[in-house]
């Protein structure tokens, strides 16, 4: 009678373990609306130092364009001649006082060329702000995915700790009933201790992941995360993925913008080769006769030592470098997008396999091992091995789902379009 009662307790304990093994642990019910990824990205965009720096760069470039459109300031000039001499020029009796302005006159289209350079630099700064925003989104997405994955791993660890506790109770009953060696109870106790320690480790990792996310978005994490984010997998597609166009992406637009700045620099260097003139209307007073006369002066620099050819050659070389870099960037982006597509597709395949057939096979193996252990057909080592395989498969499924989300985020970053549908 005692053995029958002990066997019934063991069977009930194992049955509770079997009911728990239905796949990945169900997400914890959320009391309120989840703090979504889009909300996290929006919060980070308002507090990220990189975004503030990029916005300051846009303001600086906008001010630079205003400065580029300003004309050169006139220069006030004053001159006194024929003083402190000898004879009739002694003292100030024959002094000639002149007061006037020297007005620079820019030639060769320098002002419009400066404005063109400043406008190209403003477009590049605006594009850089969009690039920084895309980078912030990628960083926040990766931190958010890691935080969600950490919570899923913690749920799995707690579930495995509960199962290990049930297994220990079942082994204790079997030992007390004389159906098993005390060694089985010791093994089950070791498994339970390791499972509890794993829960503690996962708690720390989860707290660290949430803290990193909170630090990035600039506000404390008080709500629940969108725990089902990892389960969003694409529909399987047969064959290689279709190539994605890179025209209009942020990465290629940045290279195009650098080339536009270099082109404007060549135009400005050529405009600077044309000498400017200074015109100087003035009024002169003759102290000897107390008469007043008008004076008009014109000065033109002579380009003997610096005729601007070296500056034009330098600007042209910079333009050629920017053009070559643009071609290199195009090739690099195409390669990176192709690799990212393959990585995302492979990650999706791994995620579907790990969270589908592989997990189902591990669940079935654990179920059979529990039934066999309960009926005395399998030993405890087989049961522990099956449970360990199931736990590893669960964690592998979570890692595979997280890897896909990260790969998808990197692909979206590479193919992020220029805001407003075109290059700025």
Domain ranges of the chain: 2-71+106-273+308-421, 74-105+275-307
Count the Cβ atoms, other than its own, within 10 Å of residue 238. 4
Measured between alpha carbons, how far is 351 from 345 in angstroms, rounded to an integer?
10
**pLDDT tens by residue, 380-422:** 777 778 888 888 888 899 999 999 999 999 999 999 999 874 4
DSSP 168-233: HHHHHHHHHTTSS-HHHHHHHHHHHHHHHHHHHHHHHHHHHHHHHHHHHHTS---S-B-GGGGG--
The average confidence (pLDDT) of the chain is 84
Tokens standing for 205? Answer: 């990792």
Q: Considering the domain 2-71+106-273+308-421 in this protein, what is its CATH number?
A: 1.20.1600.10
Helix (H, G, I), strand (E, B) or coil at 5: helix
**pLDDT tens by residue, 261-295:** 999 999 999 999 999 999 989 998 887 788 889 98
Whether pTM > 0.85 for this model: the answer is no
Burial-class residue 291 by CB neighbours within 10 Å (0-12, 13-18, 19+): exposed
Spans of the chain below 70 pLDDT: 1-32, 237-241, 421-424
Model pLDDT, residue 199: 95
Burial-class residue 73 by CB neighbours within 10 Å (0-12, 13-18, 19+): exposed
């Amino acid at each position: 009678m005692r053995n029958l009662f002990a066997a019934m307790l063991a069977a009930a304990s194992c049955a509770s373990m079997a009911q728990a093994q239905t796949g990945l642990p169900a997400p914890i019910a959320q009391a309120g609306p989840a703090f979504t990824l889009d909300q996290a990205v929006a919060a980070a965009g308002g507090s990220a130092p990189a975004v503030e720096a990029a916005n300051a760069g846009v303001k600086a470039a906008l001010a630079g364009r205003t400065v580029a459109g300003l004309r050169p300031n006139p220069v006030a000039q004053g001159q006194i001649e024929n003083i402190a001499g000898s004879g009739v020029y002694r003292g100030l009796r024959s002094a000639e006082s002149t007061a006037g302005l020297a007005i620079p006159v820019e030639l060769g289209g320098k002002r419009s060329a400066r404005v063109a350079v400043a406008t190209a630099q403003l477009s590049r700064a605006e594009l850089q702000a969009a690039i920084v925003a895309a980078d912030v989104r990628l960083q926040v997405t990766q931190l958010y995915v890691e935080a969600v994955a950490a919570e899923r791993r913690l749920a799995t660890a707690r579930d495995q700790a509960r199962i290990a506790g049930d297994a220990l109770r079942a082994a204790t009953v079997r030992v007390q009933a004389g159906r098993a060696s005390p060694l089985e109870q010791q093994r089950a106790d070791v498994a339970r201790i390791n499972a509890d320690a794993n829960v503690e480790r996962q708690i720390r990792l989860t707290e660290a992941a949430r803290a990193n996310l909170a630090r990035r978005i600039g506000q404390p994490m008080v709500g629940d995360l969108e725990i089902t984010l990892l389960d969003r997998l694409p529909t399987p597609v047969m064959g290689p993925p279709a190539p994605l166009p890179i025209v209009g992406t942020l990465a290629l637009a940045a290279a195009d913008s650098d080339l536009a700045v270099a082109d404007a620099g060549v135009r400005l260097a050529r405009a600077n080769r044309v000498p400017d003139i200074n015109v100087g209307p003035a009024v002169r007073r003759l102290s000897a006769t107390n008469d007043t006369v008008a004076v008009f002066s014109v000065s033109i620099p002579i380009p003997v030592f610096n005729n601007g050819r070296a500056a034009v050659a330098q600007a042209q070389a910079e333009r050629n470098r920017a053009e070559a870099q643009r071609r290199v960037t195009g090739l690099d982006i195409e390669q990176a997008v192709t690799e990212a597509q393959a990585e995302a597709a492979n990650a999706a395949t791994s995620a579907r396999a790990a969270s589908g057939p592989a997990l189902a096979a591990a669940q079935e193996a654990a179920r059979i091992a529990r039934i066999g252990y309960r009926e005395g057909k399998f030993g405890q080592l087989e049961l522990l091995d099956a449970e360990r395989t199931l736990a590893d498969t669960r964690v592998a499924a979570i890692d595979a789902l997280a890897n896909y989300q990260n790969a998808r985020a990197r692909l979206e970053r590479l193919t992020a379009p220029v805001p407003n549908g075109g290059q700025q």
